[in-house]
Structure 1
Amino acid sequence: MIKLSQPQIPEDAIERVGDILRSGQLVHGDECNAFESELAAYLGAKHALVVSNGTAALHLALLALDIGPGDAVIVPDFTFTATANIVEITGAKAVIVDVERSSYNLDPIKLIECIENWNGPEKLKALMPVLEFGNPSNLNTYRQIAEKYNLNMIEDAACALGASDEGTKVGTAGDFGCFSFHPRKTLTTGEGGALVTNNTELFQKAALLRSHGMERSSEGVVFKCVGLNYRLTNFQGAIGRAILPHLNNWIAQRQELAAQYKEELSTLIDSKLITIPDVFIGHSVQTFMVVLASQLKRSDIIFELKAEGVESNLGAQSMSALGLFLHQQNIKTSYPVGQELYQQGLALPLHEGMTKDDVSNVVAALSLVLNNVTR
């Protein structure tokens, strides 16, 4: 079976985890502190804060920006549900905007329309663009829009560590950038995540919120505010440190595999059985998702591909189609692109453990299945 995704854990990480387990220093410690410094340096950011998962990173960013009841945050229609869920958890309202067909990211034109036509009772306070599947497209444009309309910007860069837009590293364009280290991500610590910022005041606030509002001093522990427990473990920090030096090479491998997919899928594209995204310069290619033609039933394709030894799945969800965010603004707006991507998107295997032969085998299996079902 050619797997959809396969975490890569270097042997030195496994050995280091063993050392830490034997040491007894399991909670946030020196490895996490070092990982934060190395991650900030890699991104060219002033501060990085490692946390228990990517959703926790988003939550801390929202709380640090004082976003809550009476506020509204713009999110894309096509994303994992955590993006909109966490806005709602704060008491704010998730306002959905459709995405681009070419990039799967927030459509800048529709984003501006939403901002300029906003008349909800809530204060429109922030936008939360998702760099879907590692695609950096429009990152600098989102920043310009946020600045023009005086909005905070939180990058949901869960899939996009290592991606960049015209020299701007994903995660460093907004007030906060938030990453996930889930096993589907290029850098994984099992579960885990991080948020980065160039704003020292926001960093200090998020750091307090991450650990019970607690601050240690020579006089003992002081509780400065009401907080949460979103810390990463020390052995997870060690795994992240061991993987980070490999990240750029792994992304380069993913980009090569994506280019091969594009070339070998050309017949299916020309036959209008699938479309593929634009893989922009700077794309970290966490997932390679094609879009099936409307007459094809994705569940059937997934089943048939599995029989051919290829694992596949949907890409992400449409927030408007889930029936969870039924605010007036969302109900009266249409989301044709996001809903199509949700219904017809098919994620194909892509990870740095794959070979060129694996890609060819996936394409051969997909071609066989699609040709069979369209006869």
Structure 2
Amino acid sequence: MKIPLSNALLDEKDIYEVLKVLKSKRLALGPYMKKFEEMVKNYVDTKYAVAVSSGTAALHLILKSLDFGENDILLTSSFTFISSANVALYEKGNVHFVDIEPDTLNVSLNALEEEIIKTKKKNSRLFFMGVDIFGHPLDWDKILDICQKYSVEIIEDSCEALGSEYKGKKCGTFGQAGAFAFYPNKQITTGEGGIIVTNNEKIYQITKAMRNQGRTSSKWLSHEVIGYNYRIDEMSSALGYSQMKKIDKIIEMRNKAAKNYEKLLTFLEIPVIKSYVTKMSWFVYVVKLPKGTDINKVIDYMAKNEIETRNYFAPIHLQPVYKKLGWKEGMLPITEEISKRTLAIPFYSEITFEEQEKVAFYLKKALELFS
């Protein structure tokens, strides 16, 4: 029996809602998009939500709505999915990567402030893309203090953190706007899709127009601003609407799975949850292998035993496109050292304890062989 890295939780209710859309033949810009937006904004407690085609589209539109452009600088983590940085390049801006904390794997507060101070001398506008990595919130009170001190705009990349809470407040609500993503390995899925949440009416209005080819009125061929085809379709919206009905159940199931791993994986470093996290919504489960472990041999060994694992994440600043911009090894030492030994293991809502036992058994044997 193969154990996959991730697996979406889908049931008959999800199928029923999607079939309703297909039978209606209203496949885009229909009622389900609005119902999905309402559910998400009410869940995270914001005034507005704009559903789009992906988490990347959500981040891009937020940056665009803030007039981010050439000569502006986006500060973010290199230990995240590449779209957190790429969206700045879409607008011909600059990316400055910040090193991470070795325990939470979120951006280091000290490194962030140091980079801001150093970068302020360039007289560029500064933006911070705060990533709640793997669902673990940043220390937002301290982040807000730093960014307010230096007049840095905040965008929250909560694409992996739907449902997580920092001191009782939902992730996605700490910056000018936040973004969530719904790829099949996320807490809930729409297949492909994302959403913007914000309390800023201007951001809401402009991102809503830009997702739909720049339309700001009901006239279909009237385009007042430059826009994109970043719409989410009705089938995806219907699935998201249905999935949101069980978000609390999904988070509970994933928390149970995480606690099982905590009991089973006593032989290696498991994820750290800080005291300021009042609710953890797990995206993936990433462990740290001992220093010196051959991670590729571990991955191959697990695969031979029908267990899918993956190195998570490779640093963005060492990707070829960013090396061409001048980034190189040694610039972010903690990110580079940690990324060599982070391993995502099978984790999803319906994973069984027996499957987790198998993962733990073979992972222990792999470490005995390759550490």
TM-score clears 0.5: yes
CA offsets, 1:34-75, max 9 Å, x none? 110111000001101000001000100010000010100101
Q: What is the match of residue 291 of structure 1?
A: 288
Distance, in Å, in 2 between the alignment partners of 1:223 and 1:350 is 44
Distance, in Å, in 1 between the alignment partners of 2:303 and 2:328 is 37
1:28–1:141 CA distance, 2 compared to 1 (3 A): farther
Q: 1:310: Cα distance to partner?
A: 1.3
Q: What is the match of residue 50 of structure 1?
A: 51
Q: What is the match of residue 127 of structure 2?
A: 126
Distance, in Å, in 2 between the alignment partners of 1:61 and 1:44 is 18
CA offsets, 1:134-163, max 9 Å, x none? 111313322232222211111111111111
SS at match of 1:66: coil
What amino acid is aligned across from residue 366 of structure 2 in structure 1? Answer: V
What amino acid is aligned across from residue 246 of structure 1 in structure 2? Answer: K
Q: 1:120: Cα distance to partner?
A: 6.0
1:59–1:122 CA distance, 2 compared to 1 (3 A): farther
Residue 334 of structure 2 is aligned to residue 340 of structure 1: no
**Of the candidates 336, 346, 355, which is equivalent to residue 349 of structure 1?**
346
Residue 271 of structure 2 is aligned to residue 277 of structure 1: yes
CA offsets, 1:165-216, max 9 Å, x none? 0012100110010111111111110000001101011111111111111133
Q: What is the match of residue 19 of structure 2?
A: 18
Q: What is the match of residue 272 of structure 1?
A: none
1:91–1:122 CA distance, 2 compared to 1 (3 A): farther
Q: What is the match of residue 367 of structure 1?
A: 364
1:328–1:163 CA distance, 2 compared to 1 (3 A): same
Give me the CA root mean square deviation.
Answer: 1.9
Q: 1:320: Cα distance to partner?
A: 2.1
Is the Cα–Cα contact under 8 Å of residues 71 and 122 in structure 1 kept in the other structure?
no
SS at match of 1:263: helix
Q: 1:294: Cα distance to partner?
A: 2.5
1:358–1:206 CA distance, 2 compared to 1 (3 A): same
What amino acid is aligned across from residue 52 of structure 1 in structure 2? Answer: S
What amino acid is aligned across from residue 360 of structure 2 in structure 1? Answer: V
Residue 316 of structure 2 is aligned to residue 319 of structure 1: yes
Distance, in Å, in 1 between the alignment partners of 2:109 and 2:345 is 27
Distance, in Å, in 1 between the alignment partners of 2:142 and 2:89 is 25
SS at match of 1:7: coil
**Of the candidates 280, 302, 306, which is equivalent to residue 305 of structure 1?**
302
What amino acid is aligned across from residue 279 of structure 1 in structure 2? Answer: I
Q: 1:305: Cα distance to partner?
A: 0.7
Q: 1:331: Cα distance to partner?
A: 5.5
Q: What is the match of residue 185 of structure 2?
A: 184
1:329–1:119 CA distance, 2 compared to 1 (3 A): farther
CA offsets, 1:104-125, max 9 Å, x none? 1111111011111225646142
Q: TM-score, normalised by structure 1?
A: 0.93
Distance, in Å, in 2 between the alignment partners of 1:144 and 1:34 is 35
Is the Cα–Cα contact under 8 Å of residues 73 and 93 in structure 2 kept in the other structure?
yes
Q: What is the match of residue 253 of structure 2?
A: 253
Distance, in Å, in 2 between the alignment partners of 1:298 and 1:333 is 20
Q: 1:23: Cα distance to partner?
A: 1.6
Unaligned ranges ≥5, structure 1: 270-274
Is the Cα–Cα contact under 8 Å of residues 94 and 325 in structure 1 kept in the other structure?
no
Q: What is the match of residue 176 of structure 2?
A: 175
Q: What is the match of residue 6 of structure 2?
A: 5
Distance, in Å, in 2 between the alignment partners of 1:91 and 1:141 is 29
Distance, in Å, in 1 between the alignment partners of 2:325 and 2:367 is 40
What amino acid is aligned across from residue 258 of structure 1 in structure 2? Answer: A
Q: 1:276: Cα distance to partner?
A: 2.2
Is the Cα–Cα contact under 8 Å of residues 318 and 328 in structure 2 kept in the other structure?
no
Unaligned ranges ≥5, structure 2: none
SS at match of 1:214: coil
Is the Cα–Cα contact under 8 Å of residues 130 and 138 in structure 2 kept in the other structure?
no
1:107–1:126 CA distance, 2 compared to 1 (3 A): same
Report how many aligned residue pairs link the two structures: 367
Distance, in Å, in 2 between the alignment partners of 1:16 and 1:158 is 24
Is the Cα–Cα contact under 8 Å of residues 173 and 197 in structure 2 kept in the other structure?
yes
